[in-house]
Amino acid sequence: MPENTKFLIKPNPSDQRLTEKVDGLDQEGQAVTTSVTVERPLTLFLNGQEIVTMMSICDYPEFLAIGYLVNQNMLSKEDEVTAIEYEEDIETVVVRTNSETNFEDKLKKKTLTSGCAQGTVFGDLMEKFDEVNLSPDIKLKTSDLYAVLKIINTAPSLYLEAGAIHGCVLCDGATPILYMEDVGRHNAVDKIAGYMFLNDISGADKMFYTTGRLTSEMVIKTVQMGIPILVSRSGFTAWGVDLARQADLTLVGRARGERFIVLAGDHRIQYE
């Protein structure tokens, strides 16, 4: 990894809470010991009201909780977060704000998404989608894209250690700054959204990378964070492409090495 790459947060594959050793047999019947990812339930409360139970590796439960609420439109910039309380022994995280809010209507209207580990969206999936105006002036140089992909693919990660996990990365130009992993890609993106919310980081001039598919859920969350460019090493869904074109989001898929495909917002790509 280049010495000038300074992640604000990056995976910590040496954290013993996140993996465990399991004995098994290989293709020749020989005994092997391998690392597997550990997932745990995490129940989220908002001001005393239970919202959802998620399966997560629980490395950054505070960011996950805030990001989930932000991306489900349950928490806005106008809300003041007064406390985030994580209780590891009872597997809960409580977010407290300066005012009580009733989310019964949102909880009644539940949509199961295509995310791994059964991602769930409450309320109107498109509630704020049409209100976001993504910056048309941001450019993505192909050389910067190739550099970012190389840094991400060679950075120490739980994926390289144990697999069975998704990664999401927030990038500033050719520099990855936030790298989160989790058993579901929606959890990984929510962790980044939570960090951005708590640290007042704008997505207007950023690029977002995910290892997962470019589904409607990923497009909606990226647009809600105000990020104009979304990249994945995986493929697309038709609705994801349609929504990206509607929002003028640059959608880059099948990005591996020096190959990629753009299906929306190609005016931001600067070919070299």
Q: What is the pLDDT of residues 216-271, one digit of tens each?
A: 989 999 999 999 999 999 999 999 999 999 999 999 999 999 999 999 999 999 99
Which ranges constitute the DSSP H helices of the chain? 61-71, 104-108, 142-154, 158-161, 185-198, 216-224, 238-247
Quote the Cα angle for 65-255-205, to 5°.
Answer: 55
The pLDDT value recorded for residue 106 is 58
| CA-closest candidate to residue 115, choices 59, 68, 176 | 68
**Per-residue pLDDT for 100 more than 60?**
yes
What are the chain's domains? 140-270 (3.40.140.10)
Average pLDDT, the chain: 89
CB-based contacts of 244, cutoff 8 Å, min separation 6:
214, 219, 230, 250, 251, 263, 264, 265
Range with lowest mean pLDDT among 72-86, 115-129, 132-146, 216-230: 115-129
DSSP state of 80: P
pLDDT band with cut points at 50, 70 and 90 for residue 1 = very low
239 φ, ψ to 5°? -70, -35
Q: For residues 231 and 250, give the distance between their C-alpha atoms in angstroms, rounded to a whole number.
A: 8
pLDDT band with cut points at 50, 70 and 90 for residue 10 = very high
CA 257, distance to chain mean position in Å, is: 22
pLDDT band with cut points at 50, 70 and 90 for residue 125 = low
